[in-house]
Amino acid sequence: MAVEYDLVVIGGGSGGLVVASLAAQLQAKVALVEKEKLGGDCLWYGCVPSKSLIHAARVAYDVKHGSRFGIYTQPPEINFSEAIGHVQSVIAAIQPHDSPERFRGLGVDVIFGSGEFSDRRTFTVDGRQLRARAFVVSTGSRPGIPPVEGLQEAGFLTNEKVFSLTERPDSLAVIGAGPIGCELGQAFHRLGAAVHIIASRAQIMPKEDSEAAAVVEQQLLSEGIKIYKQQRAKRVEVIEGKKHLWIGPSDGEPTEKLVVDDILVSSGRVPNVESLNLEAAGVKYDQQGIKVNGKLQTSNPRIYACGDVIGGYQFTHVAGFEGYYAAINSLMLPVFPLKSVDYSVIPWATFTEPELARAGMSEKQARQRYDDVRVLKQPFAGVDRAQAEAATEGFAKFIVRNDGTILGAHIVGPSAGELIHEVILAMRNKLKISALGSIHIYPTLSEVNSKASLLLTKQKFAESPWQKDLLAKFFQFRRSLFN
C-alpha cells in the first residue's frame, strides 16, 4: 500500500495541534485524527475554563472584601449558572482558533473517529487505513480515579464534568491537593460552597517549594477552607441524598466523616494509551505513558509522541513546546540531525490566590548538585506596589550559584505567573541574576525580581569584612583631603 501522508498526527490537543499546524505550514501532507473535539483537555476541561471560573471567583472575593479599601457593599449575590455561562463564552471565543475549519484551511486533512495501529506503518480509523512516513501520538491524558469503595456508585466530578454544572453544590469534598484541587477548591469556596480538601501528603502541592506552598495553604485556611493533610478517601456512601465520605491515614482505618453534596476528584492523570494498539506498532509504554528518547522518538523510529501521553511535565505549554520538536524531528529525519528537547528551564504556575510560579531547580535539588548554592529571598511586603494593593503575602525566592548563575526561581504572590517570565528569559539565555537588576518601572510588582537580584551582592559584601574596612579607610582618607 502506498504512503499517503508525510505525517499522521493522532490526537487534537495542544501538542497535536502544534504538530499539525507547523507541519502543514512547512508544506507537508498531514492528517490529524481526533476522537471527539479539537482543542483537547486545555480548551474544554482544563486551562481555559478553570481560569475563567477562577477569575469569576476572584471578582466575588474582591467584592466581598472591599472594606479593606474603604469600599462597603452588601454581600455579593452569586449566580452560579451565570458564572458558568462566562466560562462557556470564553471557550466559545477561543474555540475557532482550534476549529476543524481553521486546520483544513491550512491544508490539514482533519479526520474524526476512533482508531488504532494495525501495523508499524498503518493507523486505521473507522476502517480507513492511514499510511504515513511518520506518526506523532499526542492523545493526552484523563483524570485518574482512586480505588475508593463506593465512589463509582455515589458519583463524582472531575475536571471533565465540573464545568458543565448548572447549580453550585453547597458543599464539596476535593480529593487531591495538587494544583487542580487547590485552584478549583478555592474557586468553589469563593463562589459560596463549603470546601474540604483532602491531601494525601504533609504538604499541599508537594512538587512546590515548601515555604511557597505554606503561603498558599495559609490563605486557603484563612478563607475558611478545611484541609485534611496526610489523609486519604476510604469509603463513600449516599445517605438521604448526601455523600458521606470517610477519610483516614494511608495505612489506617477511617477516622473522620465528611458529609457533602458532591465530590471532586483531582488526584492525578492517566495517559490515554489503551485504545491505540501500540503493541502492533512496536511502541513501548507503561503506566506512566509512552516511552520516548530525548528526541521524542518511540521504540518505533517512525513514531514520535508528545504531551501528557508521555508523562513528564503535564502542562499545556510543555505539550506545545514538545510539539515543535516532534514536528521538526518527524518531518526532517533523516535529512537533518534530530533535535533533543531542552527541558532545562520548564516553568509552571498554580493560579490560586496568591499565585505560585516556578522555574528550574528547588533549593534541595540545587544543593544535591552544587556546593556553592545561595538563596535570595525578597518578600512582597518590601515592594511598594504590593503594599498599595494590600497584596503583601508571599515572596520571590531565587536559587543561585556564587557567580550569580540562576538555578531556580519560586514566586508566590500577586501575578506570580506573569512575573516569572523575565526570570525564564534570563535562565534560558544563561544570564546571571544581576541581569534582573536592570531598571524596572516604579511602582510595579516586577520590582520583586530586581530587588531580589541585589541580594547576592549584599550577601557577599556582608561576608567580607575586609571590603568594609577598605571602604571605610577610603572614605576616611578622602575626607582628610578636604579638612
3-state SS string over the chain? CCCCEEEEEECCCHHHHHHHHHHHHCCCCEEEEECCCCCHHHHHCCHHHHHHHHHHHHHHHHHHCHHHHCCCCCCCCCCHHHHHHHHHHHHHHHHHHHCHHHHHHCCCEEEECCEEEEECCEEEECCEEEEEEEEEECCCEEECCCCCECHHHHCCECCCCHHHCCCCCCEEEEECCCHHHHHHHHHHHHCCCEEEEECCCCCCCCCCCHHHHHHHHHHHHHCCCEEECCCEEEEEEEECCEEEEEEECCCCCCCEEEEECEEEECCCEEECCHHHCHHHHCCCEECCEECCCCCCECCCCCEEECHHHHCCCCCHHHHHHHHHHHHHHHHHCCCCCCCCCCCCCCEEEECCCCEEEEEECCHHHHHHHCCCEEEEEEEHHHCHHHHHCCCCCCEEEEEEECCCEEEEEEEEECCHHHHHHHHHHHHHCCCEHHHHHCCCCCCCCCHHHHHHHCHHHHHHHHCCHHHHHHHHHHHHHHHHHCC
Each residue of 41-87: pLDDT tens digit? Answer: 898 999 999 999 999 999 999 999 999 999 999 888 999 999 999 99
Model confidence at 465, in pLDDT bands (50, 70, 90)? confident
Q: What is the domain class of 354-462 according to CATH?
A: alpha beta
CATH number of this structure's domain 5-143+270-332: 3.50.50.60
Indicate the pTM of the whole model.
0.94
Identify the pLDDT of residue 461: 81
Model confidence at 462, in pLDDT bands (50, 70, 90)? confident
- For the chain, domain boundaries: 5-143+270-332, 151-268, 354-462
Over residues 262-269, mean pLDDT:
96
Over residues 142-163, mean pLDDT:
96
Identify the pLDDT of residue 19: 97
Fold match between domain 5-143+270-332 and domain 151-268: yes
Identify the pLDDT of residue 1: 61
In the predicted model, what is the mean pLDDT of the chain?
A: 94
CATH number of this structure's domain 151-268: 3.50.50.60
Identify the pLDDT of residue 337: 65
Identify the pLDDT of residue 136: 98
Name the residue with higher pLDDT: 475 or 282: 282
Over residues 26-51, mean pLDDT:
94
Each residue of 400-433: pLDDT tens digit? Answer: 999 999 999 999 999 999 999 999 999 999 999 9
